[in-house]
Structure 1
Amino acid sequence: MTRLPLSVVVPARNEAETIEAVVRHLLSMDWVDEVVVVDNASDDDTAKLAAVAGAKPVYEAQPGMGHAVRAGLAAATHDWVMKVDADLEKFNVKLFSEMVAARESHIGLVKGDWTDPKDNMPMTRLLVKPGIAWLFPGLSGLRSPNTGIYLVNRSLIAHQEIVGNYAADLDIMVRVYAAGAEVIEVDIGRIEHDMRDVGHYNKMAETIMGFLLDCKDTRITEELVVFADKARDVLEGCTGLCALRAKSGALVTVYLGDAGSKEADALQAALAPWPTARVLPLSEKDEFEPKGPENRVQIITTAPLVHTVAEDVAARLVLQGVVGNAPLVIVPPDDQGAYVADHGFDMTPVLDVKSSALRDAGLPETRQPREVFSSLENQENKA
């Protein structure tokens, strides 16, 4: 099998005393092709000494684990990236090669599972594992879901969108999972950390709880599928929702009857920053199969296609046991009022994305903060 190149990212803040030894130790491993040291707002010579040892130094001025990880993932040369801590003297780094050996095409994330005989992992036991099991049943079997040592295929996720705080490692895991790739664990041995006080755990708990609540709101494991004759209807009707879901990490697929048109190209460019989004010809609609881990799908379609596409696809998915919401109809301008809006979503975080897409397509821009839709189910009930 062809050897896949690998970058190692080391977030570091004021690690001048040890960073040279860490970098040299990593570069001595035959599975390491590059070491990226992210100097996270240090006030010592961390970056300078990392470069002397052979690392690629990156400076991230904003303190926070997530900010450092984002910077490291962006700077890495290779798609497969291992993230490790700067305190490598506590680990048997040779065991990290087991994570490298575990890579396969269907795997997107390899977690390093380690144990500490002096730490009963209260945060993992009492918050992280129950929360993850409740929100993402397919990840409930992980022993160390919040471990900070892992190997990830960054090409699968919008790594530039991960949270900037301590929950970044969880965010990466959830995004890989939502993208339909497998998350596995590899035993990397035992270590002994210094004891942490209650205040440390309180701050961690607050950060992680906020992240888990956000995950519930974003519905990251629910795929969004759009069917439309004209890209213009999507651009005007639901570009914001598509962008918002893709930004969060959800899978988004748009099928267009005019794929290849100027409008379709503008939509594809708007969604390009997020690897979980794709634009395909409408002729391929019957080939749609859920890629997500939990078989949850939400369907949107334009009014002319309601009965010929959305219902057929929805019926097929129901027969396959796929769980999903009722299809939503994009509400284009309609003088007859055939479709009355009964759903709305706040698009404020992606207004610029939608405006740019409309502008690139030669269509009138909008700064409306909400996109509204009509529920097919509700309209039929009224009829």
Structure 2
Amino acid sequence: MTRLPLSVVVPARNEAETIGSVVHHLLSMDWVDEVVVVDNASQDDTAKLAQEAGARSVFEPQAGMGHAVRAGLAAAAHDWVMKVDADLEKFNVKLFSEMVDARGGNIGLIKGDWTDPKDNMPMTRLLVKPGIAWLFPGLSGLRSPNTGIYLVNRSLIAHQEIVGNYAADLDVMVRVYAAGAEVIEADIGRIEHDMRDVGHYNKMAETIMGFLLLCQQTRITEEVVVLAQTAGDVLQNALGLCSVRAKAGALVTVFLEDVGSAQAEVLKDTLAAWPTSRVLPLAEAKTFAPEGPEERIQLLCSAALSVHGFDVQTGLTARGCSMPEPLVMAGSDGFRSDHGFDVTSVLDVKSNALTLAGLPPAASPREVFQSLSSYVNKAKAS
């Protein structure tokens, strides 16, 4: 079997004392094709010494783990990327091959599971594992969800969107899970870390709690499914919602009747920024099957389709999908909406797409929707 190429990314800030040996050690492994050292605003010779040791160096001026991880994932030459810490002298790096060998099937992320006999992992036990189990039940069996050593298929996720702080490693994991890929672990041995003080854990806890609350807000594991006659309908009335959700990492599928039109190409190009989105012919909606881990769907339908009696739930409820709030997009009939969605964060994306499609600019930083059931009843009553 052909071995898939692999890049190793090492975020490093002021690591001149050890970075040379780290790079040498990694490059001695036969499963490493390149080492990328992310110089995260260092004030020493980290970058110079990394290059002398045989690594490629990338400069990231914004200090912070997430910024460094984003830069490294973007710079890597290969889709399979192993992210490791700069303190590799504490590990038996040969055991990292356990992660490499675990690739296959639908696996998108392999976490490096290590143990420290002197550390009872208070942050993992008291915050990360309970929070992950509550929000993402399918990940509750992981022993080390917060480990910063892992191997990921970056092509599955919008890695340019991960958070810029310490929670970046969790963000990568959650995005892979939401994309419908498997997250597993591989044993990489035992180490002994230096003890950390309470202040360090307090700062970690604040960052991680903020990330978990963000996950709850963005509903990352709830797929968005849009059914529409024209791409213009989606561009004007639902592109903002689709962009916000895809940017966060959720799966987004748009079914169009005019899937081959020029405006549909604009929609495809816009959503292509996020790997978890796609645009398909409307006819395929009848055989649609959810790909996310929890089979929850946010269903949007154009007003024209609901008025014409299109069965928007065909093939969805029959597959056991949960649709807590089916909605219909605002149409030219100007019905009264009962839902509003703030798209301010992606208004520039929507405005650019509307311009390219030859459509009027967005009139509001909000998109409005009405519950599908009430709209259909209203249509029948008339």
Task: Name the CA distance, whole Å, in 2 between partners of 1:303 and 1:189.
Answer: 57
The count of residues paired between Structure 1 and Structure 2 equals 379
Task: Name the CA distance, whole Å, in 1 between partners of 2:14 and 2:200.
Answer: 19
1:350 maps to amino acid: V
Task: Name the CA distance, whole Å, in 1 between partners of 2:307 and 2:261.
Answer: 25
Gaps of 5+ in 1: none
SS, match of residue 226 in structure 1? strand
Q: Does 2:372 align with 1:376?
A: yes
Match of 1:364 in 2: 360
1:305 maps to amino acid: L
Match of 1:138 in 2: 138
2:317 maps to amino acid: V
* Per-residue Cα deviation, 1:355-379 (whole angstroms, up to 9, x for no partner): 0110111111125110001111233
Kindly report which structure 2 residues correspond to 1:235-314, keeping only aligned pairs within 5 A, or say none: 235-306=235-306, 312-314=311-313
Match of 2:340 in 1: 344
Task: Name the CA distance, whole Å, in 1 between partners of 2:62 and 2:229.
Answer: 45
| 1:351/1:367 contact within 8 Å kept | no
Task: Name the CA distance, whole Å, in 2 between partners of 1:367 and 1:233.
Answer: 14
Match of 1:100 in 2: 100
Percent of residue pairs identical:
75
2:270 maps to amino acid: A
| 2:289/2:315 contact within 8 Å kept | no
Task: Name the CA distance, whole Å, in 2 between partners of 1:319 and 1:50.
Answer: 56
Task: Give the TM-score normalised by the residue count of structure 1.
Answer: 0.97
Match of 1:113 in 2: 113
Deviation at 1:284, TM superposition (A): 1.6
Match of 1:213 in 2: 213
Match of 1:325 in 2: 324
* Per-residue Cα deviation, 1:328-369 (whole angstroms, up to 9, x for no partner): 1111221xx5x3211100000000110011011111112511
Task: Name the CA distance, whole Å, in 2 between partners of 1:178 and 1:64.
Answer: 24
1:328 maps to amino acid: L
1:341 maps to amino acid: S
Task: Give the TM-score normalised by the residue count of structure 2.
Answer: 0.97
Task: Name the CA distance, whole Å, in 2 between partners of 1:280 and 1:380.
Answer: 25
| 1:227/1:301 contact within 8 Å kept | yes
Match of 2:48 in 1: 48
* Per-residue Cα deviation, 1:169-222 (whole angstroms, up to 9, x for no partner): 000000000000000000100000000000000000000000000000000000
Deviation at 1:309, TM superposition (A): 7.3
Match of 1:169 in 2: 169
SS, match of residue 146 in structure 2? coil
Q: Does 2:186 align with 1:190?
A: no
Task: Name the CA distance, whole Å, in 2 between partners of 1:142 and 1:315.
Answer: 36
**Larger deviation, residues 318-327 vs 126-135:** 318-327
Deviation at 1:380, TM superposition (A): 4.5
Task: Name the CA distance, whole Å, in 1 between partners of 2:212 and 2:313.
Answer: 29
Deviation at 1:269, TM superposition (A): 1.1
Match of 1:354 among 350, 359, 378: 350
1:290 maps to amino acid: P
| 1:179/1:291 contact within 8 Å kept | yes
SS, match of residue 291 in structure 1? coil
